[in-house]
Amino acid sequence: MGKTFAEKIMAAKSGRRAVSASDIVTVKPDFVMSHDNSAAISKTFRGIGVDRVVCPEKVVIILDHCVPAASDKYANNHKVVREFVAEMGIENFFDINAGICHQVLPEQGFACPGELILGSDSHTTTYGAFGAFAAGIGRSEAAAIWATGELWLRVPETHRIEIGGRLPAGVTAKDVILSIIGQLGADGVLYKAVEFTGSAIDEMSLAGRMVLANMTVEMGGKIGYMTPNEETLTFVRSRSSRDFDVVTSDPDAEYERVIRYAAADFVPTLSCPHTVDNTAPVTDKAGTPFHQAVLGTCTNGRLEDLGLAARILKGRRISRRVRLLVFPASQEVYRDAMRQGILADLAEAGAVIMNSGCGPCLGAHEGVLADGEVCLSTANRNFKGRMGNPNSEVYLASPATVAASVLTGLITDPREFFQGGGR
């Protein structure tokens, strides 16, 4: 019996010849990522009784959750992080001018195929798009890796999601993953490795692949990975000089489940309040009014996403009834979008262009909702209170749906903007 991707990586990183699903192994990750929570992690680390971070070269810290600081508490938090990285000689530190961790980490070359990346953020799964084994962990676990260089993991069973064919015009990776989460449920792949395969995945852009991997955790997945395609390998080689091996599942590997979809069947999809798996086709909710829209975040703040929205909004004005906030996923994306005129198009349409960061996604600042307000967001979570107010509602959608909808202030099917092709 062959081995899955997950089994191969877990064996390699635990120094064992072979492991199987359900084994518990102690692994040495290639990188451990944390963000603003590094202040709390540093306090926990100091409680362990170790003087130095054992592997400073493996530690990647990116400030993104509340940048620039929204209050003295956040400011002091950032200060603790800056002092800690200086004291410990952590070179891979990115201050508030870098962007969202899940975009910055790959941009800076820390996500190569076949590597093991653990991060104290649930959307660490994003790096599965690069063929890495990437999973979220807790803060104490990040502290433990700083102190010991290792952590225990359970080798997950693998579910394969195969998507064949081509997506219809106006339908994006976001619609695909929301739809799959709706069908499988919030615990549909609980504790499992998810492997995305099929011709639609082979042809999908890197930005789209990152959306699938990012949101795999929203159906309970431990990792969501795919074999890197040529665009992905070109990106990785342009960002990192490390040697890497592309690791793939054996043809006779054991999958716990194989689920097949036809790309042509996907339609623009929403997650309705208050859970990600509460999905509906956009057409079912068309005409629903909202107050604020968010374009960006670690899910959909890449150049491709902003460009798609700009194509719809260029030369038009958003409704006076809504506010549109744009959060590029990184400052690099911000600069590229600026050079390409994308930000100008969005701003001229009436959008507020924010700095790169998590913004209001987790309810800390920069666009918290008022009582009774509804937000249409390209983010990955819509739980009650997520955007800072339990008396508000959040719908999740693709950048195309958000762009089409802000023109009227009513949820709108974006496909009418894609007649005559284009994706």
Partner 1 sequence: MSTIKGKVWKYGDDINTDVIFPGKYTYTVSDPAELARHAMEDLDPDFAGKVQKGDVVVAGTNFGCGSSREQAASCLVAAGVGAVIAKSFSRIFFRNAINWGLPALQCPAAVDALQAGQAVTVDLERGCIEAGGQSWKFPELPAEVQGILTSGGLIPYLRAKYQKNA
In angstroms, give the least distance from the CB of 254 to partner 1. 20
Which segments within 255-307 are labelled E, that is strand?
257-262, 269-271, 279-281, 292-296
User: Whose Cβ is closer to partner 1: residue 116's or residue 137's?
Assistant: 137
For partner 1, the closer of residues 314 and 384 by Cβ is: 384
DSSP letters, 395-415, are EE--HHHHHHHHTTTB---GG
Using DSSP, state whether 383 is helix, strand or coil: coil
Does 144 bind partner 1 (CB under 8 A)? Our answer is yes
Whether the Cβ atoms of residue 269 and residue 300 lie closer than 8 Å to each other: no
Min separation Cβ 191 and partner 1, Å:
5
The reply to whether 187 sits near partner 1 by the rule CB under 8 A is yes
CB 173 within 8 A of CB 134: no
Binding mask of the shown chain, residues 342 to 371, with x at each position contacting partner 1 by CB under 8 A? --------------------xxx---x---
Which listed residue (15, 18, 24, 262) binds partner 1 by CB under 8 A?
Answer: 24
**Among 3, 11, 30, 37, which residue sits at the site for partner 1 (rule: CB under 8 A)?**
37
Q: Say which residues have a Cβ less than 8 Å from residue 32's Cβ, sequence separation at least 6.
A: 55, 58, 59, 60, 117, 118, 119, 120, 142, 145, 146
Q: Which residues contact 73 (CB under 8 A, 6 or more apart)?
A: none
Instruction: Please state the closest distance from residue 414 (CB atom) to partner 1, in A.
Output: 27
Q: Does 15 bind partner 1 (CB under 8 A)?
A: no
Size of the site for partner 1 (CB under 8 A): 52
- Could you say whether residue 80 binds partner 1 (CB under 8 A)? no
* Distances from the Cα of 286 to the Cα of 280, 308, 412, angstroms: 10, 20, 5
Q: Does 183 bind partner 1 (CB under 8 A)?
A: no
Q: Minimum distance from CB of 174 to partner 1 (Å)? A: 18
* Rounded distance between C-alpha atoms, residue 114 and residue 185, angstroms: 29
Q: Tell me which amino acid residue 373 is.
A: E
Residues that bind partner 1 (CB under 8 A): 24, 36-37, 39-40, 43-44, 47-50, 65-66, 71, 73-74, 77, 120-122, 124, 136-141, 143-144, 147-148, 152, 154, 186-187, 190-191, 220, 222, 275, 277, 362-364, 368, 381, 383-386, 388, 390
